[in-house]
């Protein structure tokens, strides 16, 4: 019994670091693309894909929509996959979350939630009359 307790404790330890664990903020969101993703450049010239996910909460008559702005720094085929997703695509998102504080043009302090995509899975694509049933394919991961 004691050996079991010791092995469970050892499994919980981090093997490669003696420093304390860093604090961490992650979010998981299941929502629909509010618009097609767009390719933009950062102030340093690096390309990123920016998009908005919408989630709904509450009953139909009191339904509220929350909008989450997300950025992705994926490259190659993963970036191309994301850029080709149509508005209305249902996605599962895993992202790092960070609160950024800044000053508005009016001189007031404001905060914004920044989400950096780590992984997505397409759960369903929106139905298109011209595409037939092909748009309702199995989930895809990027």
Q: Match 């080709």 to its residue by tokens.
A: 84
Position 13 in a domain: no
Number of C-beta neighbours around residue 15 at 10 A: 6
pLDDT digits (tens, 9 = 90+) for 3-51: 545 545 555 555 566 777 778 899 999 999 999 999 999 999 999 999 9
Position 1 in a domain: no
Distance CA 138, CA 124 (A): 7
Position 111 in a domain: yes
Distance CA 36, CA 140 (A): 17
pLDDT digits (tens, 9 = 90+) for 93-114: 999 999 999 999 999 999 999 9
> Number of folded domains in the chain?
1
Position 67 in a domain: yes
Position 11 in a domain: no
Position 93 in a domain: yes
Range of the domain at 127: 25-141
Distance CA 137, CA 87 (A): 16
CATH code of 110's domain: 2.40.50.140
Distance CA 35, CA 89 (A): 9
């Amino acid at each position: 019994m004691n050996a079991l307790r010791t092995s469970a404790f050892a499994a919980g330890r981090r093997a490669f670091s003696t420093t304390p664990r860093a604090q961490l903020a992650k979010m998981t969101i299941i929502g629909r693309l509010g618009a097609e993703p767009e390719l933009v450049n950062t102030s340093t010239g690096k390309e990123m894909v920016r998009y908005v996910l919408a989630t709904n909460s509450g009953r139909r008559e009191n339904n509220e929509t929350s909008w989450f702005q997300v950025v992705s720094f994926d490259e190659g085929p993963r970036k191309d996959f994301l850029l080709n997703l149509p508005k209305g695509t249902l996605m599962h998102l895993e992202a790092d979350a960070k609160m950024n504080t800044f000053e508005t043009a009016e001189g007031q302090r404001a905060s914004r939630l920044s989400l950096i995509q780590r992984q997505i899975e397409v759960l369903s694509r929106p139905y298109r009359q011209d595409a037939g049933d092909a748009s309702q394919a199995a989930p895809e991961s990027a």
